[in-house]
Amino acid sequence: MSVRELDLKQEPPCTSGLGNYLWSDPPDEKKWADCVHCGMCLESCPTYEQTGQEQHSPRGRVHLIKSVAEGKLQVNEQFMDPVFQCLDCRACTTACPADVDVGGLIEEARGQIRQAMPLTGVKGAISKFFLHDLFPHQNRLNTLGGLLKFYQKSGMQKAVRKTKLINIMPQHLADMESIMPEVKEPVKKKYKDVKVIKAKGETKQEVAMLTGCVMDVMFSDINESTINVLTRNGNDVVIPQNQTCCGALHVHAGDRDMGRKLAKQNMEAFKDFDKVIVNAAGCGCMMKEYAELFKEDPEMHAKAEEFSEKVEDISKFLHETGYEKPKAEMKTRITYHDACHLAHGQGIRQQPRDILLDIPGVDMVHMPNSDRCCGSAGIYNITNPEMANAVLESKMENVPDDVEMISMGNPGCMLQMAMGVQKYGRNQKIVHTVQLLDWAYQKEDRVKEGKE
Amino acid sequence: MRTKDRVKSQDQHILNLAEIVGGSRSILYQKEDLVAYDCDGFTIHKHLPRAVVFPKNTQEVSEIVTYCSENNLPFLARGAGTGLSGGAIPLNGEIIISMVRMKKLISVDLENRRAVVEPGFVNLKLTNSISDKGYYYAPDPSSQYCCTIGGNVAENAGGAHCLKYGVTTNHILGLEVVMPNGKIVEIGKDGIPDAPGYDLLGLITGSEGTLGIVTKITVRVLKNPEGKQTVLAYFDRVEDGSQAVSDIISAGIVPAALEMMDKTAIEGVEAAAFPVGHPKDIEAVLLIEVDGIAAGIEEQIDQILEVCRKRNVREVRAAGSEEERARWWANRKTGFGAMGAISPDYLVQDGVIPRSKLPEVLSRINQISSESGLRIANIFHAGDGNLHPLVLFDARIPGESEKALEAGSQCLKVCADVGGTITGEHGVGIEKREEMRFVFTEEEIAAQTDIREVFNPHNLLNAGKLFPSPSRCAEIKKEMKAQAIS
């Protein structure tokens, strides 16, 4: 964004806003009309748990967002703090007796804040770099991935750690560096020239797959596992090359224009498919909510609603269309962490657990408060490290001691939980649900071939 | 969390209070933060506090209170802010002392069946912490997922299961209280019940934060009942439903809970997050729970089914599983919040009536509803006659809030007229101050404010709550008394 654009943005485009919300797409009155201030959401909120303060609670945030519309407050720095401290974990929506869409309100309020007060200076540069110059551009992400791979393989990682160069990084970045997964080849690149990855055996249906931005660079092996599991269960898999980042990180950060742009591109990229399979809870939830971005554009709104119907999390898709139960024993004790955007965002709780329990030899240990946020929340752990760490600490207290693996369905959570394991001296392996299923299939094949 | 921020304020009192609680993380003083504290679960009156402070321990509470009292600053205590009568609303721009960071479970003594908690400890967490050992804390207000035990003491909170087990006051064994002058006192030391002398525990419990600030609470915990079963019954006529309630009690059964919801309430809970599929065309649903020694439960359930059938029940059945039972209760316990699904705002009233008067009272409430043009849903702790009419309104429409208040007040008048009273468990707060006159004479009210004066002589602590503003006559009497003394 050039300086000139910035200046333009500070002037509200019209005065058709709501109260002190001066820009288009203001928070939706209907969403707070459902809130009667009962307080049932309080204990579900990780930031309220940490602070005990109303303005950092769902009910308090809704009250403040409403107060701006009523003209009692301005969109300013002080208002920004509670709105941006929210993890957008949606636990409050689960707790709410009246189904108030707090997450939606928060995202809309952030949109107003970002337009009223565009980020400047270092923060602005960092945010622009990640949200505009990096995530929407798969080739740049791949280059970054390549650099990270070089960093890991060339010995530079060892050198940085050994020379204590790492000590000059801010603590939360150093923590992240220490758990960085080994970077492999992105599947979108790998299958660039493959039109359809054919099902093993008879084809039941064809599905398209979102490879994701971070997922494909940091966790391409999970994408690989997803393809394996889909093809093994009779699905032809297509990876449309013109797909892009889902836009969740942008919408969470208040950059709704960029969110809309990415949404449009994805709707176009996936228009010829009946099913869009997603293995990242955050992306799936965002794509199911694209219509929220087009409230002021009825035509796109309708299109987005239609599109969202096609989006399905991998665990729910497998659960509904059926999957082969693996026959090889995995012999492992695991626990399951509910990613917020799976459990609270999409109501998917039982399906991944059922899949895990269908793997022979998997002993599942209950994690208390398993649907409590881990503090990852997109890039929240980079923007609000202190709160993210406090939330992570309380999460780790609930991870049972005697398990070997923690399974979940979201890459952000995986990085954050890996950091938790490292930081609190635990030794669990972090896995995606679909990976464990894939490994069981692979083991079964090896046994069949007499290799095990 | 704004770590590096220092407290920047022109107000010297705020700087001094910040000093007591240890800096910027434990005090709020900027408007955008304070707006979140301008009301509690009662949203009709709003007022900004001067500041909100978050003490960590009794000593800090005492220092804050001493400071406020010496500097003539009004103050009040707040728990989770789920109260329904406005007890935590800073009508006079009070300093709010938020108790939520004092949230430790201090000790559990199962042998003597008691536990000690800090006031910010959440009600349900107590049961959750001892349930694996077979114990629980009985008072269960519907907000128990989030309300604090300190707030429960202030309001003498009840709940669905108070029919058999009693309200909060029946479960309080000891309190540590910071008096309005800052002095720390202990009442009912070591949790020995029935201490000689005046029942100060009883006086403080339910005093709505006007006599002192509770900083430590010793509560009674109970052994889990051996067995438990819940029955759901649908009635086509309210009269039959309420007659069934009376019949169950007359049959000598004391259910643990006996709840009723009317047609509008059912519409609300079914439109909200925890629907169970109640038919839309019935007039009343009853939820009846019995607990106790396992052997006797089946017999009681049979008796209850029999009574309901005699009273023309359309459908009646016992819960088939614990999961089903839990769903019925989630549906009922989130009933107030569920009104958000069918109305932008609601005001809940809290009358108590003789059980036998229910059909009459409901028909008069219906009349109030049609006269005011506002819908009124009824959720009813039927067993102990505690009625909650929920007046549904839209605060954005000019004049509707006032109309709702007026309709609520009329409902309470009806309750008082049939020989009941104006609050069962939500407290008087701001909301029902004037309605106190329905049940007390000027002299009776004056006798109670005299008691307040002993504890809270300068009325700095939570002023303007619980009692109506003195009428001319009472004011004159007080002036005369003051003159006589001088």
Residue A314 shares a structural domain with residue A424: no
Residue B238 shares a structural domain with residue B155: no
For residue B7, is it within any domain? no
What residue in B sits closest to A77 (Cα-Cα)?
B32
Residue A373 shares a structural domain with residue A337: yes
DSSP state of B355: G
Residue recorded with tokens 């201490």: B195
Residue B335 shares a structural domain with residue B260: yes
**CATH assignment at residue A273:** 1.20.1050
Residue A360 shares a structural domain with residue A433: yes
A354 and A319 in contact (C-beta within 8 Å)? yes
The answer to whether residue A437 scores a pLDDT higher than 90 is yes
For residue B1, is it within any domain? no
Region B224-236: what's the mean pLDDT? 95
Q: Tell me what pLDDT residue B147 has.
A: 97
Residue B404 shares a structural domain with residue B481: no
The answer to whether residue B282 scores a pLDDT higher than 90 is yes
Region A226-254: what's the mean pLDDT? 95
Query: Which of B438, B454, B476 is the last residue in one of the domains?
Result: B438
For residue A93, is it within any domain? yes
Q: Tell me what pLDDT residue A167 has.
A: 64
For residue A147, is it within any domain? no
For residue B5, is it within any domain? no
**CATH assignment at residue B27:** 3.30.43.10
Q: Tell me what pLDDT residue A49 has.
A: 95
The answer to whether residue A170 scores a pLDDT higher than 80 is no
What residue in B sits closest to A31 (Cα-Cα)?
B344
The answer to whether residue A173 scores a pLDDT higher than 90 is no
Longest dimension (CA), chain A: 73
For residue B94, is it within any domain? yes
Query: What digits encode the pLDDT tens for the residues A21-44?
Result: 999 999 999 999 889 899 999 999
Residue B218 shares a structural domain with residue B239: no
For residue B2, is it within any domain? no
Query: What digits encode the pLDDT tens for the residues A63-99?
Result: 999 999 999 999 999 999 999 999 999 999 999 988 8
Of A35, A40, A73, the CB nearest to B146: A40
Specify the number of domains making up chain A. 3
For residue B381, is it within any domain? yes
Contact: A52, B336; criterion CB under 8 Å: no
User: With bands split at pLDDT 50, 70 and 90, how would you rate the model's confidence at B193?
Assistant: low
For residue A155, is it within any domain? no
Q: Tell me what pLDDT residue B479 has.
A: 58
Residue A259 shares a structural domain with residue A350: no
**CATH assignment at residue B169:** 3.30.465.10
Residue B299 shares a structural domain with residue B283: yes
Contact: B337, A78; criterion CB under 8 Å: no
Residue A332 shares a structural domain with residue A241: no
Minimal Cα–Cα distance from A107 to chain B, Å? 19
Residue B181 shares a structural domain with residue B74: no
What residue in A sits closest to B55 (Cα-Cα)?
A52
Determine the structural domain holding residue B260 and report its residue range: 226-342
Report how far apart, in Å, the C-alpha atoms of B463 and of each of A73, B91, B211 are. 27, 8, 10
Residue B68 shares a structural domain with residue B166: no
User: With bands split at pLDDT 50, 70 and 90, how would you rate the model's confidence at B477?
Assistant: low
Which residues contact residue B377 at a Cβ distance below 8 angstroms, ignoring those fewer than 6 apart?
B261, B262, B264, B265, B267, B268, B339, B346, B389, B390, B392
Query: Which of B54, B70, B98 is the last residue in one of the domains?
Result: B98
Query: What digits encode the pLDDT tens for the residues A289-314?
Result: 999 999 999 999 999 999 999 999 99
What residue in A sits closest to B330 (Cα-Cα)?
A97
Residues of A near B (Cβ–Cβ under 8 Å) read 33-43, 50-55, 57, 60, 63-64, 67, 72-73, 76, 78-79, 81-82, 85, 95-100, 386-387
* Neighboring chain B residues of A43 at a CB cutoff of 8 Å: 122, 145-146
Task: Choose the weakest-confidence range: A45-54, A413-422, B68-77.
Answer: A413-422
Minimal Cα–Cα distance from A68 to chain B, Å? 10
* Neighboring chain B residues of A35 at a CB cutoff of 8 Å: 340
* Neighboring chain B residues of A97 at a CB cutoff of 8 Å: 272-274, 334-338, 340-341
Q: In the predicted model, what is the mean pLDDT of chain A?
A: 89
Residue A202 shares a structural domain with residue A307: yes
Percentage of chain A lying above the pLDDT 70 cut: 92
Phi/psi region, residue B49 (left: phi>0; alpha: psi -120 to 50; beta: rest), is beta
User: With bands split at pLDDT 50, 70 and 90, how would you rate the model's confidence at B412?
Assistant: very high
Q: Which of B77, B105, B58, B57 is nearest to B219 (CA)?
A: B105
Contact: A55, B32; criterion CB under 8 Å: yes
For residue A160, is it within any domain? no
Contact: B340, A34; criterion CB under 8 Å: yes
B56 and B26 in contact (C-beta within 8 Å)? yes
- Copy the structure tokens of residue A326: 């693996």
Residues of B near A (Cβ–Cβ under 8 Å) read 1-3, 28, 30-33, 35-37, 39-41, 43, 52, 54, 80-82, 98, 100-101, 103, 120, 122, 143, 145-147, 272-274, 334-341, 343-346
Residue B305 shares a structural domain with residue B402: no
Query: Which of A116, A139, A172 is the last residue in one of the domains?
Result: A116
Region B198-219: what's the mean pLDDT? 96
For residue A208, is it within any domain? yes
Q: Tell me what pLDDT residue B485 has.
A: 58
Name the β-bridge partners of B465. Answer: none
Of A64, A96, A386, the CB nearest to B36: A64
Query: What digits encode the pLDDT tens for the residues A205-237?
Result: 999 999 988 778 888 999 999 999 999 999 999
Residue A191 shares a structural domain with residue A301: yes
**CATH assignment at residue A69:** 1.10.1060.10
Residue A204 shares a structural domain with residue A310: yes
Choose, out of A28, A40, A48, A51, the residue to mutate when testing the contact with B (most B CBs < 10 Å). A40
Position with higher pLDDT, A360 vs A382: A360
**CATH assignment at residue A416:** 3.40.50
Query: What digits encode the pLDDT tens for the residues A91-137?
Result: 999 999 888 999 999 999 999 999 998 877 777 777 777 778 877 77
Residue A311 shares a structural domain with residue A352: no
Phi/psi region, residue A450 (left: phi>0; alpha: psi -120 to 50; beta: rest), is left
**CATH assignment at residue B337:** 3.30.70.2190
Minimal Cα–Cα distance from B479 to chain A, Å? 41
Query: What digits encode the pLDDT tens for the residues B106-161?
Result: 999 999 999 999 999 999 999 999 999 999 999 999 899 999 999 999 999 998 88
Residue B247 shares a structural domain with residue B307: yes
Q: Tell me what pLDDT residue A139 has.
A: 75
Contact: B31, A53; criterion CB under 8 Å: no
Residue recorded with tokens 């169970």: B276
Minimal Cα–Cα distance from B327 to chain A, Å? 13
Q: Which of B206, B165, B205 is nearest to B381 (CA)?
A: B165
Query: Which of A320, A347, A368 is the last residue in one of the domains?
Result: A320
Choose, out of B28, B128, B146, the residue to mutate when testing the contact with A (most A CBs < 10 Å). B146
Region A392-410: what's the mean pLDDT? 95
Query: Which of A282, A303, A320 is the last residue in one of the domains?
Result: A320
The answer to whether residue A150 scores a pLDDT higher than 90 is no
Kind and range of the H or E element at B376?
strand B376-381
For residue B254, is it within any domain? yes
Q: Tell me what pLDDT residue B2 has.
A: 46
Query: Which of B98, B118, B141 is the last residue in one of the domains?
Result: B98
Residue B67 shares a structural domain with residue B114: no
Residue B127 shares a structural domain with residue B202: yes
Residue B356 shares a structural domain with residue B411: yes
Do the bridges between strand B27-28 and strand A429-432 make them parallel or antiparallel, or are there none, so unpaired?
unpaired
User: With bands split at pLDDT 50, 70 and 90, how would you rate the model's confidence at A186?
Assistant: confident
Minimal Cα–Cα distance from A449 to chain B, Å? 46
Contact: B35, A67; criterion CB under 8 Å: yes
Residue A8 shares a structural domain with residue A104: yes
Report how far apart, in Å, the C-alpha atoms of A317 and of each of A321, A336, A355 are. 6, 19, 11
Determine the structural domain holding residue A387 and report its residue range: 326-448
Query: What digits encode the pLDDT tens for the residues B397-407?
Result: 999 999 999 99
Residue A196 shares a structural domain with residue A311: yes
Specify the number of domains making up chain B. 5
For residue B3, is it within any domain? no
Residue A261 shares a structural domain with residue A353: no
Q: What is the ipTM of this complex?
A: 0.90
Minimal Cα–Cα distance from A410 to chain B, Å? 26
